[in-house]
Amino acid sequence: MSDVRFTHIGGPTVLIEFDGWRLLTDPTFDPPGRTYRFGWGISSRKLTGPALPMAELGPVDAVLLTHDHHGDNLDSAGRLLLSTATTTVTTSSGARRLGGTACGLKSGQSMRLQAPGRPPIEITATPCRHGPLLSRPITGEVIGFALTWPGQEHGPLWITGDTVYHRALRRAAAQIRPGTVLLHLGGVGFPLTGPLRYTMTALQAVRLCEAITPHTILPVHYEGWQHFRQGRDGIERDLLRAPKPIRSRFRWLPIGSAEHLQL
């Protein structure tokens, strides 16, 4: 069993530490107030800053970047951080854009992180659909990550990435059988596209988790931005309608302070 420390910095940004490894998901460290354009006339304003300043973050071994082309997953300060990380794992198209030490994966592909004195980490890219059917030409390539290392009891650790609920996601989850899920929620929407959603709502997440019954579900990517349509209050209201065995598996990470979990 591994003792893993999660620090939720804000939005999708989480520092994951175990057995000498320091991994960071989707780095967003800009201050609040700026509006970011996502293309096709769509934009959003950042409402809150990071709970942990980048200057206090410390060294990062690898960045797990679900996609590089939206400011709520990689902002200007986050881009600066990439140059200090040993490795950035991201989409194949994102790796071409970023260059440097970026390593690109397509859904289903795997790579291994290795370092002396630490357990090897197998990283497998999982499918994401960042919006409704046929939206990929607009929303771009996105992946999630399944992480496996020796000694896991409640593993693999799955970082879903920005995605709605869809068939390929459900199939991948059933194959992975994750024990712990870092779940991107928020029900992202924009005035220009009306009721369409670009990330999972709590009800969609419940459908997904009912099929795989993970040990622990950790919601992220639901606060700090104008385009999140479902914050923690809305998620908790929907969870009241979920079966108790699933509802009891949800655990909120405190923003800005570390939480230890046994994986």
User: How big is the CA angle at 163 (ends 198 and 97), to the nearest 5 degrees?
Assistant: 95
Per the CB < 8 A criterion, the answer to whether 130 and 67 are in contact is yes
Largest CA distance in the chain: 51
The yes-or-no verdict on residue 1 having pLDDT over 80 is no
Confidence of residue 134 (pLDDT cuts 50, 70, 90): confident
Confidence of residue 234 (pLDDT cuts 50, 70, 90): very high
3-state DSSP percent of the chain in helix, strand and coil, to 5: 20, 30, 50
- State the pLDDT at residue 137: 85
- State the pLDDT at residue 155: 79
How do residues 3-46 score in pLDDT, each as one tens digit?
A: 999 999 999 999 999 999 999 999 999 999 999 999 888 999 99
- State the pLDDT at residue 138: 85
- State the pLDDT at residue 39: 81
Beta bridge partners of residue 180, listed in sequence order: 157, 216
Per the CB < 8 A criterion, the answer to whether 111 and 120 are in contact is no
CA-CA distance, 118 to 115, in Å (whole number)?
Answer: 6
Q: Which of 36-40, 44-48, 81-85, 197-201 has the lowest mean pLDDT?
A: 36-40
Q: Which domains does the chain carry? A: 3-252 (3.60.15.10)
Tell which residue, 142, 90, 96, has the closest CA to residue 111: 90
Whole-number average pLDDT of the chain: 95
Mean pLDDT of 159-172: 97
The yes-or-no verdict on residue 136 having pLDDT over 80 is yes
Which percentage of the chain shows pLDDT scores above 90?
90
Confidence of residue 197 (pLDDT cuts 50, 70, 90): very high
- State the pLDDT at residue 2: 80
Per the CB < 8 A criterion, the answer to whether 133 and 118 are in contact is no
- The number of angstroms, rounded, from the C-alpha of 211 to the middle of its chain's C-alpha atoms is 20
Q: For CA atoms 5, 206, 201, 82, give the dihedral sign.
A: positive
Mean pLDDT of 95-123: 97
Say if residue 254 is exposed, middle or buried (CB neighbours under 10 Å; 0-12, 13-18, 19+).
Answer: exposed
Residue with tokens 């399944």: 146
β-strand 180-184 against 157-159: which pairing, if any? parallel
The yes-or-no verdict on residue 192 having pLDDT over 90 is no
CA-CA distance, 110 to 124, in Å (whole number)?
Answer: 4
Mean pLDDT of 218-245: 96
Per the CB < 8 A criterion, the answer to whether 263 and 4 are in contact is yes
